Amino acid sequence: MDRIDSILEKMSLEEKIFQLTQYPISVFIDTKDDLDGPRKAYQLSGKNIALLGTVINPNDADEMIKAQEEHLRTDPNHIPLVFMRDVIHGYRTIYPIPLALAGSFNPELAEECAKMAAKEAALSGVQVTFAPMADYVRDPRWGRVLESGGEEPLVTGIMGAAQARGFQGDDLSDKDHIAACVKHFAAYGAGEAGREYNLAEVSLRELYEHYLPAYKMCIDAGVKLLMPSFNSVNGVPSTVNSFLMKKVLKEEWNYDGAVISDMYAVSELIPHGVAEDLKEAAEKAFTNGCDIEMCSSSYVLYLKELVEEGRISEEKIDEAARRVLMLKERLGLFEDPYHGADQKAAEAFYLCDENRALARRAAEESAVLLKNDGLLPLSPDVKRVALIGPFADSHEIKGAWSCKGRDEECVSMEEGVRKLLPDAEITVVSGCGIAWNETDADLQAAEKAANSADVVLLCLGEEQFCSGEAKSRTDLSLSPAQTALARTVLAANPNTAVVLFTGRPLAIPELSAKAPAILCMFFPGSEGGNAAANLLFGIANPSGKLTMSFPQSAAQCPVYYDRTNTGRPNWTDKAERLRYASDYIDCATLPLYSFGHGLSYSNFVYEEMKLSAKELPKSGSIGLSIKIKNESDISGSEVVQVYMKDPVASVVRPLQKLIAFKKVSFKPHEEKTVLFELNDSMFLFCDMEGKRIRETGRIEIMTGEADHFVLKDEFEMI
């Protein structure tokens, strides 16, 4: 702290303000002050660019080192820059998108993947990543669901915290690690109608019950930065939402790290209609606790003027600058401003055997076997295999937000299957293009290939950049061409396994009804083809579970597992269905595949569940044991899920709510007893004012999958 105090004492007000500003690295690369370039766009000159505090999007270590050297040569206080970038699911070695990785239900795996990505990024000149994204989401029409942990805040928070630990390690000055920034605070995933950047109107109870917990878990894991969301929450953009940024973040959670706006978010307060001009935007954002402005210039243009007018105190500028300088201190940048960046070493580490093996294991554990009527696993001795569909030979399987990953470095389905089955006769027919608006399919060639094959792998899905930021969709079905292709192939050969590549849940009721097997790979990353081949042919055993429900139709959305009943609930038995019920007349109410669903080649039998007591006193705990046996000849892993139901409460409670999970490995015919400790905090819930409360009464405990429980017990909260 002495060093930071000493630096702050020597800095001018203008120098402190520039520590609170972030621009792209292009302002260093393109040095033309007077021409149309990035410096002119940000109203910068060679003089004031020397004072800059943080930089976004370095392309590689060499570029970063060059910019840092130039900066240290000209900055009057020799304060190093800090370089930030979106490292979401890998830097160059790409592992599955976060929505898929969350489905592994394996926090240790998520931490290991983030650790690998941090090292690749750090060697490449990145010191901070804008991850994890802890947004709770219920609507798959929103394209950015791929970057989330899905529809359960417990899973999102646990997996996000694991990523934060992997990125940051135990010591940020360790050159293999980078700082993590949790985003987008708050309720970014609640955008109306699933539209990107759209308003979110969320009650206090919903905020505290569903939308806030995962951010808190990441903060508790030690993230060093936080990013407010673009959207307005209950009428006020998050960047200037004092309820979120002051009451919740600072007062209730005691967060003392840095806050950085999203790109252009401060200047966008003007079109939001809450600031008349950049000066007012700067004042509102800064006084609300936004320390760093990303890629707009309201702070450098107006904070000094606002201080001189007495509308902002210089002490508050000092506090914000201190938080930025403390980040640099923790990263060890005053000792090594390059944080170990070395492009030659980075190139040697990218996609090394160890990294590829980890990416392959992550893809295998993240894939979800949605359906299997006994077709899978396929025999590795099969003679003739037809790979049909737009993803049959495509390398475009890494997904959006894959940083410096390259399509050509991803293993395709064809490459994975050929490597695994070198002696098989393999036919590859695309049948149609990947694009959703593709209407023509080469059905004749696909039918011929399907007829002549022993087994067909039908590789379908959405193109990888149909999901991601600003990729909201109203239609979640497969393209017309892919639908026609699927009908033709499934009619031609009943031994057809569908392999699905997607960044979001899709509405595939017809495919689900007709296909004997469906393996959802999501976007699996660099080793996707190898992982898919291993899963399809039994080298690996599927163990992933959905963290976001697949709807019957986009018209159901938002659709989620922890729904509540109404006074006129829908009935699955249509013979008992009320005429006036909370139901659809043209579609089922429940999802096609619910949260927590995922099949295995093993046969896990839940034999017994026991509670250690029948009463839970305040601040107490109850032991829960679940006896499970793998009644098969195949080793496998099972995600043991524990749910609760509060039948009678002061507010309407969910029909089921996940409260704990463990991923457990079983040998063939092995029996294990899986132990949980159910503590009082698992059963607290929010009242209408967002306060967490405890009530007495009966609590039901279930295990299995949401909407398909195999064992139940109950106890009394006293």
Indicate which residues carry an active-site annotation: 262
- φ and ψ at 237, to 5 degrees? -55, 140
Q: Round to whole Å and give the CA distance between 667 and 683.
A: 34
What does the block give as tokens for 648? 């009678």
Q: Round to whole Å and give the CA distance between 273 and 345.
A: 48
Q: Round to whole Å and give the CA distance between 376 and 562.
A: 31
Indicate the DSSP class of residue 175: T
Q: Round to whole Å and give the CA distance between 202 and 248.
A: 15
Q: If you count them, how many residues does the chain have?
A: 718
Cβ(305)–Cβ(316) below 8 Å: no
Closest CA to 142 of 206, 210, 200: 200
What does the block give as tokens for 150? 């899905």
What does the block give as tokens for 651? 């507010």
Residue 707 makes CB contacts below 8 A (sequence gap 6+) with: 561, 590, 594, 656
- φ and ψ at 691, to 5 degrees? -85, 135
Q: Please spell the DSSP secondary structure of 451-500, one letter per residue.
A: HT-SEEEEEEE--GGGSSTT---S--SPPHHHHHHHHHHHHH-S-EEEEE
Q: Round to whole Å and give the CA distance between 548 and 565.
A: 20
What region does 374 belong to: left with phi over 0, alpha with psi -120 to 50, or beta?
left
Q: Round to whole Å and give the CA distance between 215 and 582.
A: 33
Closest CA to 604 of 549, 671, 650: 671
Pinpoint the alpha helices (H) of 294-411: 298-308, 314-330, 343-349, 353-366
* C-alpha distances out from residue 234 to 70, 246, 349, 535, Å: 45, 15, 46, 45
Residue 360 makes CB contacts below 8 A (sequence gap 6+) with: 527, 530, 531, 534
- φ and ψ at 457, to 5 degrees? -110, 110
* C-alpha distances out from residue 9 to 2, 286, 408, Å: 11, 21, 51
